[in-house]
Structure formats: C-alpha cells, structure tokens
Structure 1
C-alpha cells in the first residue's frame, strides 16, 4: 500500500525528493539500501537518518500505532494511511440549527458496524462515546466545521480526539476535484436520488425547525435521510480519492474496491422508518392543534 512507499516522514524529504527515490528504484521501505551497501540514496549523512525514521514507521505500523504514524507522516499525506486502518475508520457528517451558536441537530456515523444516527433531544448525548470508539475519522470539511461545532457543544473534556482525521475537502482539491461534496459526487457519477438533489444545508435547517415547531416527523425523516447520505457517501469518496492519489503518483499498489451505496440503502430505509414521534413530539402536535382550534374560534 501507499504507506510503505512513503518517505516524506524522513526529515528533509518532501514530495520531490520522494519522487526522486522512487525514480532510483527505491519504491518501498524495504528497498532503501542498508548501511555500507552501494552509493547513498540521499546523502551519506541523510541516509542514516532515513533508516532511523523508516524503522520508526515500520515499527509503528507493525503495532498498528496510528497516532505514532500520524506524528511521522505530514498531514497532507494522511490519506495514505487509510487502507491500513480502514476497519477502524469512521465517516461522519452533522447538521445544525443554523443559529449563531451552532447546535448539532442530527449527526450520522458510518463505520464497519453500519449506520448510526444521533438526534438532538433523543440520543445526542451518546455521540461522544460512539465517536471515541474509532481512531480514524473521515469527513468533508469536518476539521473546519463539524468537529469544532461538536467540540464546542460537548466541551473539550468530553468530546474525543481521533488519532487521525482525513478531511476529504482538502485531499480532493489537491487532486483536482474542486467544488463541494455534492458537486464532486455528481462529477464521479455517485449523485443522489431525485428527491435529495438540490437539497442543501439551509434546507436542513428548515427541516429541523419544522420538526421542532410542529413535531413534523416526516420533516425529521427527510433530514435524517439527507444527513445519512452525507456520511456514507464519504466511504465511496474515500475509496475513489485513495485510488486517484495512487494514480497521480503512478504507484503500482493495489487499488481499493470502491464502496457501493446499494449495500446500505436497506439500512437507511429501516432507520428512517423507525423514526416515529416521541412523547414530546405528540405534546407539540397537541399544543399546536389546540392553538389552531383557538384561532379558528376568533
């Protein structure tokens, strides 16, 4: 995989020097020349340092020490870690109430165990524990928006920190896939079903407000479906992004099988159908109906 072909964790080695090593035939850590064998790969002094850092990375990978690898590999190259830790990956996305002090309303998670939905006023308090169970987080703009909103809401002491966080907004941009998440999805032929096309973040705010104001469970179901797509589509995008990154670097490594959303659509439907009204929702409906009767009598 790409991680074992990474040399940018070595001090003084950036993208160009790494490509030079590849051009020399030093394609993996195993190819780096041992001490006293042949001409230096970088320089006599730097080769000793290189061997030391290759050994550190090799040991960290053998221990599945994701945090140790993150400390070695530059953040722009963290996408290379994904295949070795895919089973520990968490894809997530949030919606908020749209107010100045953003409050998370719906948060969807997708991991190897399946889909999980957390809703404000229902089960949101369980979110930190669920996210703490996974060491590698994958999001789109999550380092700038989603994670900070959740950290502000739950507090620094309660909200977990992952060992690694791959923000696909920046990785896809570097690979020439510009635009927002939905634009990239469309360009890759992984667009959403007709009823979700054109739905945006402000629509998500309005759907939440409709649910809160009237106990409108249909609005909540639509919002949850929209948010679930934001989460599990990231799995497909991560696979595509990793493969494209390997292509751009012209590396002969196995490409990842691209996740197909058809594998989870049954679970999406099941989750949405299970979202019935709570006792509080029923109270809201009764209150609004009571007000309507009062208004009609005026």
Structure 2
C-alpha cells in the first residue's frame, strides 16, 4: 500500500488519489516522467509530484520511517505497517485513577515478545524500551496513553516515535464500531471468560488492592488484563490493514492475521513469575498483624 500512496503530493487527497489509480497510475513507478504524454494532474502539479514521490522513494529505500511519516498524512500511516512491522511496538497502559493519572502497569508487545513494566518495580526502564522501536501502535494511545506517559516521565526523557498508528481512528474509518474489547468480540478474538467485562475502573481497583494489601493475585489479574490489551492490538492491526486494502480495492498482498496462541504461554509464564516484593511482604505482615489484633479484641 505504501508504494501506491499518493496523498503526500500537495493537493492530492483520498478522491484525487483514487482518480490517479483509475488512470492506471497504480504505483510511484507509474507516475509519468517529465515530457511524456499528458499530465496526470497538471504540468505544474506533476513537477511537484515527481519531486515529492522522489523523496518518498528515497526515504523508503533508506527505511527512513520518520521522513515517510512527515510526508504522508497521519490518517494514512497504517499503510506503512507491512514495511516496518519488525519495528512495531504494540502497547497499552493502566493508571492509578487519580487526577494525575500515573501509570501503574504498562505492557509492550514487539518482535521480541511481551514485556511488562510495573510501578515500583521496573517502570523506570520503560522509556528506553519504547525508544527501541520506531513504529508505535495503540488504541486511543495518541489521546491518552502516550500523553500520560509523557507527563509522568517528562518531555526530556519520554521518547517520540517516528510514527504512531492509533487504531481507534483507523477502525472507526473502517466502520469497526465500538471500543477495543467490542471490536475483538466482533472479530471472534474475544478474551477468556474470567476477563470478560473487566474494564479500566476494575484495573484501578485491582491496583489499589495490590497497594493496600500486597495482594499479588490482584496484581497478576491486572497484568494479565493489560497484556491482552497490548498483544490483541497485533491482531487488530493485521485485520485493519487487510480491510483498508479491501476498502481501497488494491491488489496488494494481505497480511497473515496474528494468532494469539503464539503468546498465551508467555502470558502465563509472566503472570506466574510475578511474586511478592519485599515491600509486598511488609504490607502483608502489617495486615496480618492488624488481623491478629482484631481477633484478639
């Protein structure tokens, strides 16, 4: 799809792009060279178009995602995904539900697998982990997740991706209605029974239960919930790309849709490895002491 994109040309939007395709100008290679035949847009516009397409081609050859993202309108950044899938980072966050919305659990999924960052454990390592990937994929992450993380870590420390595909807006354009979980259910990739109906406020309560009582089971449940929010985005990205290509009636290879079965073992492994920290044990000791006082009273 990227090689068939013309909306980086000034004055070319979705409808003009379709007109170019209908004229047989399917790819950048098809755009008429100077002095050959009738202009595709106009003589002046064609000259500018060739310049912009040349920059696009050079950026793709260099694998310069930032340059491509600056050329191509953000609403069409989903088209870049197949060419940069190895650089993709799928992520989601949970917060403490307070006014400042501090992140509590953040899950990442990339070509190396799953990664979890927890406040009070390893959250400080998150910016470096996210900076390692150039293409971010989220659901409402441009409006919520990324701003929350930027406020928490500070502008100077939190990275800026070379491109960020927000699937909330991509799926809306494709008429895939609802939030992330509703879309998952409609695609037949819903969550296991114990996670059905769990929402963002439940995530806040689970975190507070963990903080108040050192309840590691609450933390494990929260982490599992957040991990699904992250790796399910890979499936949704694949489906959305294929549907976008279908909508545009483009003869490009469709992506194999990610099978989450590949990571479910890793999810279980991460959850089981979440043991109590020294602070958790101190909390448990305090609660148990209070419980004994209550029984003695």
Give the TM-score, by structure 2 length: 0.99
Q: Secondary structure at the match of 1:159?
A: coil
What CA distance in whole angstroms lies between the structure 1 residues aligned with 2:117 and 2:230? Answer: 12
- Give deviations 1:18-61, integer Å, cap 9, x for gaps: 00000000000001111111111111111111110110000000
Matches within 5 A, 1:167-246: 167-246=166-245
Q: Secondary structure at the match of 1:198?
A: coil
* Structure 1 partner of 2:162: 163
What CA distance in whole angstroms lies between the structure 2 residues aligned with 1:225 and 1:188? Answer: 20
Q: Secondary structure at the match of 2:198?
A: coil
Q: Secondary structure at the match of 1:291?
A: helix
Q: Secondary structure at the match of 1:264?
A: helix
Give the ranges of 4+ consecutive aligned residues of structure 1 lying more than 6 Å apart after TM superposition: none
Structure 2 regions of 5+ residues with no counterpart? none
- Give deviations 1:196-224, integer Å, cap 9, x for gaps: 11100011011111111111111100100
Deviation of the 1:13 alpha carbon: 0.5
Deviation of the 1:295 alpha carbon: 1.9
Are 1:10 and 2:42 counterparts? no
Deviation of the 1:285 alpha carbon: 0.2
Give the TM-score, by structure 1 length: 0.99
What CA distance in whole angstroms lies between the structure 2 residues aligned with 1:7 and 1:134? Answer: 26
* Structure 1 partner of 2:62: 63
CA RMSD of aligned residues (A): 0.6
What CA distance in whole angstroms lies between the structure 1 residues aligned with 2:107 and 2:96? Answer: 15
* Structure 2 partner of 1:279: 278
* Structure 1 partner of 2:50: 51
Deviation of the 1:296 alpha carbon: 2.1
Aligned residues: 297
* Structure 1 partner of 2:124: 125
What CA distance in whole angstroms lies between the structure 2 residues aligned with 1:37 and 1:196? Answer: 61
* Structure 2 partner of 1:24: 23
Q: Secondary structure at the match of 1:93?
A: strand
Deviation of the 1:12 alpha carbon: 0.7
What CA distance in whole angstroms lies between the structure 2 residues aligned with 1:194 and 1:295? Answer: 37
* Structure 1 partner of 2:145: 146
* Structure 2 partner of 1:82: 81
Deviation of the 1:297 alpha carbon: 2.3
Q: Secondary structure at the match of 1:90?
A: strand
What CA distance in whole angstroms lies between the structure 1 residues aligned with 2:154 and 2:36? Answer: 54
* Structure 2 partner of 1:137: 136
